[in-house]
Amino acid sequence: MAQDAPQLYLITPAGALASALGPLLADAMDRVPPACLRICGAGDEDELGRIADLAREIAHARDVAVVIDDHVRLAQRHGLDGVHLTDGARGVRAARKELGTDAIVGAFCATSRHDGMNAAEAGADYVSFGPVGATTLGRGESVPLELFQWWSEMIEVPIVAEGAITRELMTELSPVSDFIALGPEIWAADEPAAALAALWQ
């Protein structure tokens, strides 16, 4: 991608086991270097802790920041760079107070411009909107491209596009997004690193 193109924001697969994740993660990150790695927060807390240690080791060796969904305590305990809050603006101030000014605090705001603005005002380092593509998840609503266009023109806080991303959508989103998040789009493939490279060409 061009130098002014958005950066990759990589999400680990849901329900992954640390024992199997390492090589997949390293291969994907070596194929397309991400700006940030997000640990999917679903699953057993002990296993999430093992994934956190593994992801931190792999990512920090490549100068990549690591955040985890919602688990502020796990982020602290395992030396991660911050959290990704899945409930919009509601927890931003509390997470910032708990983690400090240097931590990354991101907020997923679904399709709501209002929630995104509240998160930005509360001190989020980035705001994520999604799903962008067609999906049956959630209420089945997708974020209109106009929201990304408006945000990129009016708001300084970086914006992340995520959810059901296709190559065509990446072409549309590139001029108006700071980061594009990929995860489920690649992990179902036989060779995730190759799938990532094909999508991110």
Q: Has residue 23 been placed in a domain?
A: yes
Q: Has residue 1 been placed in a domain?
A: no
Considering its fold, how many domains does the chain have in total? 1
In whole angstroms, how far apart are CA 62 and each of 22, 35, 125? 14, 10, 21
Q: What is the pLDDT of residue 137?
A: 58
Name the pTM for this structure.
Answer: 0.95
- Residue 64 CB contacts under 8 Å (≥ 6 apart), including other chains: 29, 33, 34, 35, 36, 37
Residue whose C-alpha is closest to residue 22's, from 46, 47, 58, 64: 58
Q: What is the pLDDT of residue 28?
A: 98
CATH of the domain at 85: 3.20.20.70
In whole angstroms, how far apart are CA 133 and each of 10, 74, 171, 191? 17, 31, 13, 22
Mean pLDDT value across the chain: 94
Q: Has residue 2 been placed in a domain?
A: no
> What CA–CA distance (Å, rounded) separates 108 from 65?
17
Q: What is the pLDDT of residue 4?
A: 67
Q: Has residue 55 been placed in a domain?
A: yes
On whether the CB atoms of residues 195 and 189 are closer than 8 A, the answer is yes
- One pLDDT digit (tens) per residue for the chain, 201 residues: 333 689 999 999 999 999 999 999 999 999 999 999 999 998 899 999 999 999 999 999 999 999 999 999 999 999 999 999 999 999 999 999 999 999 999 999 999 999 999 999 999 999 999 999 987 655 668 999 999 999 999 999 999 999 999 999 999 999 999 999 999 999 999 999 999 999 998
Q: Has residue 31 been placed in a domain?
A: yes
Q: What is the pLDDT of residue 141?
A: 86
Q: Has residue 88 been placed in a domain?
A: yes
Q: Has residue 47 been placed in a domain?
A: yes
Under DSSP, the state recorded for 188 is T
CB atoms within 10 A of CB 89: 22
Domain interval for residue 24: 7-199
Q: Has residue 57 been placed in a domain?
A: yes
